[in-house]
Amino acid sequence: MGKKVALTGNEAAAHAIRQINPDVVAAFPITPSTPIPQNIAQYIADGKMDTELVTVESEHSAMSACIGAAAGGGRVMTATSANGYALMWEMLYIASGARLPIVMAVAARALSGPLNIHGDHSDIMGGRDSGWIELVAENSQEAYDNLIQAVKIAENKDVMTPALGAFDGFNISHSIEIWEMEDDDKVREFVGEYEPLFPLLKTEEPVTHGAWAPPDWYFEHRMSQLKGLLNAKDVVVNVGKEFGKAFGREYGIYEAYKMDDADYVIVAMGSVCGTTKDVVDSLRDNGVKAGLLKLRLFRPFPYKELADVLSGAKAIAVLDRVSPAGAQGGPLFNEIRSALYDANNRPPVINYSYGLGGRDTQPVHINSVYDTLKKIVETGKVEKQFDCLNLRGAWG
Amino acid sequence: MAEKLLDWNEVLIGATIKDPGNSRSYETGSWRVERPVWNPDECIQCMFCWVYCPDSSILVDENGKMTGIDYDHCKGCGICVEQCPKKSKALTMLLEADAKGKSEEEIRKEAFSK
Amino acid sequence: MSKKLDIRWHGRAGQGAVTAAKTLAELISQEEGVYAQGFAVYGAEKRGAPVIAFTRIDDKVIRDHSEYMEPDIVLLLDPTLLGLVDVKEGLKDNGKVIVNTSFDKEQVIEELGLQGYDVYVVDANKISIDALGRAIPNTPMIGALAKVTGLFSKDEISKGVVELLEHEGKFPQKIIDGNREAIEKAYEEVK
């Protein structure tokens, strides 16, 4: 319904932010999300945005400035990746604890050690407990759409929680593809006006932000905060429906691709889902009942809904774009398994780490996953609960 | 500071405090072991004590003149006495135990008799 | 245009392979009912380093963002890459190869081992030096690609790229005219 454009994922994010036209963007550049604040700076210089851009000296300062501006009463957005996201780690908790609906674009990239600038989910997985809503996009269209919806979700009175819209670094951030950009006024109309709850700049009703909560208060505040995050799940669905009415593309907490009668299911997030859809189609052409559960909302984790949609499968493989880092499997695997623990039907669930540090994941690799799932169903045995896709050397 | 301990679903969002500046109601004066005592006759109104007081407990009137000590908040750290240029003539410390039950005049007499 | 086309570009950083892959995607996007995707493999960003870029064209939404491709067409912006990079990897039987070279076709096929493929040659470096004063072969190669694939007429490709350059707003008229000349020359000369 919008205008067809050929632009990268970063440009999609930058345009979304331009159209939302927040009060403040405080940001520091880092590959691969640098073009986002860069383009925003250009839009502001060209008079296309009224936003105050604060070019700070680090990502920690970026989030700090965002918090100050949001507490002041402004609608605030920013962008970062990987080590930048990690540098602002303590401030992520401050933002969510203060219930400030800051919205951040994250071009997901590997965390260094060794140094790597490429696509990976280490950043958003590392921050999964920081109290932020996490939406993950498959492509540029979703990167754009998610940021616009994130503003409405975060600012909902029952939510009032910061939100991030992630998309794979380089795979999506730097790839040109065709997607639809909506009209400036329609986007502005969709996000509406921001109504802050306790803005510091409303001096006739003075408040204190950032107070200390001693042991006999902290726990209650933390749980109150959790309620807001949990409320986001229903709001994501409602905003997704509103978005569908306004722009013709409806969203939910996941996308069930050919899942109705699927025996062999992959659960994944991000750009690998596009490649997987192609493989599902060709397997289906050959009579194999393959399906893909593409998760869009990672935090709060919709475990009930996922257990419902997955429990009919015969075998499931969960793909994590991070190392399991000492856990039984990657974070998505661990949480899916936990979700299925109470289900009446518990299909075998296996885990793959893939695409770390920008490692390419190709149709042949996805095919090997479905082959393994078929073998599990045929033999009734799981040879390896965890493995890696496209890793040199057999893991074990 | 005897406020009711609220349930998790009663606390105000974001740990926000709707009556800011409420540290005033936290009366730290009860922490004191000894107190500064002021002699207005010797005081030269230099305001050094007011500048240094960490608890904003030097009372000052609308003309900018010192009028006394806020004993609800003074924690008895003694910095004012340290900084006072009149060297124990205008401000001096007295044990709380020695001030107990006495009137202002009696306290002043007790404090400056040493 | 209703078929799927997979194109891979091989060059060295500084020759414009990435820009070419993305420019092509942008031009394709202007047509109704056609989808395109353009991206590059990002490595050590320095002049001279081998660069691989991809353009995918299809009449339905392109979902695969991986680097796996069985190209219909390979463009070789720098023939010295042969031996360093497997430019023929995945190339379909009778796939097209467009080589930037001053040598003639038979020589190129012989030297680069391109027997069995549909090879084209164009001296993009010389065309670019003549038209723009610098050996940046990407726009002439786009012109050659248009001719070889029939995706665009000479006019369409020339106008298309020029409009994109003008839209950028940062190129002087001389450069825009030079690009137009380079594209049209390559379109005419590729064989």
Chain A residue numbers with beta carbons less than 8 Å from the beta carbon of C35 are 177-178
The two structure tokens encoding residue C36: 């395109």
Tell me, yes or no, whether A123 and A99 share the same domain: yes
CB-CB contact of A290 with A277 (8 Å): no
| Section B59-65 average pLDDT | 96
Average pLDDT over residues C30-46: 84
Please check whether residue B17 lies inside any domain of the structure: no
Continuous H helices in chain A: 9-20, 35-45, 59-72, 82-87, 89-97, 122-126, 140-155, 184-191, 218-247, 272-285, 303-310, 331-341, 363-379
Q: Do the domain assignments include residue B89?
A: yes
Interface test with C, best of A115, A142, A173, A178 (most C CBs within 10 A): A178
Domains in chain A: how many in total?
2
By the CB < 8 Å criterion, does B6 face chain A? yes
Show me where the domains of chain C are located: 5-189
Which residue in C25, C42, C68 is closest to A176 by CB distance?
Answer: C25
The answer to whether A347 and A311 are in contact (CB under 8 A) is yes
Q: Does A6 touch chain C (CB under 8 A)?
A: yes
Domain match, A87 and A178 both:
yes
The predicted-structure confidence for C73-105, as pLDDT tens digits, reads as follows 999 998 787 767 788 889 999 899 999 999 999
A233 and A284 both lie in a single domain: no
- The minimum CA-CA distance between C69 and chain A, rounded to whole Å, is 9
Instruction: Answer whether residue B10 shows pLDDT above 80.
Output: yes
Contact A363, A370 (CB under 8 A): no
Q: Are C38 and C3 in contact (CB under 8 A)?
A: no
Q: What is the domain range of residue B77?
A: 29-112
**Domain co-membership, A307 together with A209:** no
Query: For residue B23, which residues of chain A lie inside 8 Å, CB to CB?
Result: none
Within an 8 Å CB–CB cutoff, is residue A258 touching chain C?
no
At C1, is the pLDDT very low, low, confident or very high (cuts 50, 70, 90)?
A: very low
H or E segment to which residue A166 belongs = strand A163-168
Measured in angstroms, the CA of C29 and the nearest CA of chain A are apart by: 6
Query: Taking 80 as the threshold, does the pLDDT of residue C46 lie above it?
Result: no
* Sites in chain A below the pLDDT cut of 70: 1
List b or e across C116-140, with b for residues whose CB sees 16 or more CB atoms inside 10 angstroms. Answer: ebebbbbbbbbbbeebbeeebbbbb
Measured between beta carbons, which residues in chain A are less than 8 angstroms from residue C37?
Answer: 175-178
| Domain C5-189 sits in CATH 3.40.50.10710 | no
pLDDT for A120 equals 96
Do residues A195 and A316 share a domain?
A: no
What residues make up the domain containing A288? 254-388
Q: Looking at the 3D structure of chain B, how many domains does it have?
A: 1
Residues 6+ apart with CB under 8 A from C169: none
Chains that touch C (3 or more CB pairs under 8 A): A
Chains A and C touch (3+ CB pairs under 8 A): yes
Rounded Cα–Cα distance for residues A190 and A194 (Å): 11
For residues A199 and A307, membership in a common domain is answered with: no
Phi and psi at residue A82, to the nearest 5°: 35, -115
- The answer to whether residue C2 scores a pLDDT higher than 80 is no
Give the pLDDT score at B2: 54
Cβ-based interface (< 8 Å): residues of C facing A: 22, 25-26, 28-29, 35-40, 42, 61-68
Q: How many CB atoms lie within 10 A of CB C164?
A: 16
- Is A159 buried (19+), middle (13-18) or exposed (0-12) by CB count in 10 A? buried
In a domain, B104, yes or no: yes
Residue A4 near chain C (CB below 8 Å) = yes
Query: Which tokens belong to B49?
Result: 């004590």
B5 touches chain A (CB under 8 A): yes
Taking residues C112-118, report their average pLDDT: 89
pLDDT of residue A348: 97
Residue B15 is assigned to a structural domain of this protein: no
- Nearest CB to A97; choose among B6, B14, B21: B14
Q: Is residue A230 domain-shared with residue A273, that is, in the same domain? A: no
For residue A356, tell me if it sits in a domain: yes
**What is the separation, in whole angstroms, between the first and last Cα of chain A?**
50
Query: Where a domain ends, among A214, A247, A280?
Result: A247
A230 plus A349 within the same structural domain: no
DSSP assignment of B18-51 equals SSTTGGGGS-GGGG-SEEEEE-TTT-----HHHH
Q: What is the average pLDDT across C10-16? A: 86
pLDDT of residue A216: 95
Within this chain, do residues A11 and A72 fall inside the same structural domain, yes or no? Answer: yes
Q: State which of A247, A267, A297 marks the end of a domain.
A: A247
* Whether residue A57 is found in the same domain as residue A114: yes
Residue B11 lies in a domain: no
CATH code, B98:
3.30.70.20
Residue A394: inside a domain? no
> Is the domain of A241 the same as that of A355?
no
Domain containing residue A113: CATH number? 3.40.50.970
Give residue B18's identity as a one-letter amino acid code.
K
Angle between helices A89-97 and A218-247 (to 10 degrees): 90
* Cβ distance of C68 and A6 shorter than 8 Å: no
Question: Would the pLDDT of B1 be above 60?
Answer: no
Among A207, A216, A227, beta carbon nearest to B20: A207
- DSSP one-letter code for C13: T
- For B97, list phi and psi in degrees, rounded to 5: -60, -40
- Smallest CA-to-CA distance from A131 within A225, A16, A25, A233 is with A225
Q: Which residue has the tokens 């919709």?
A: A302
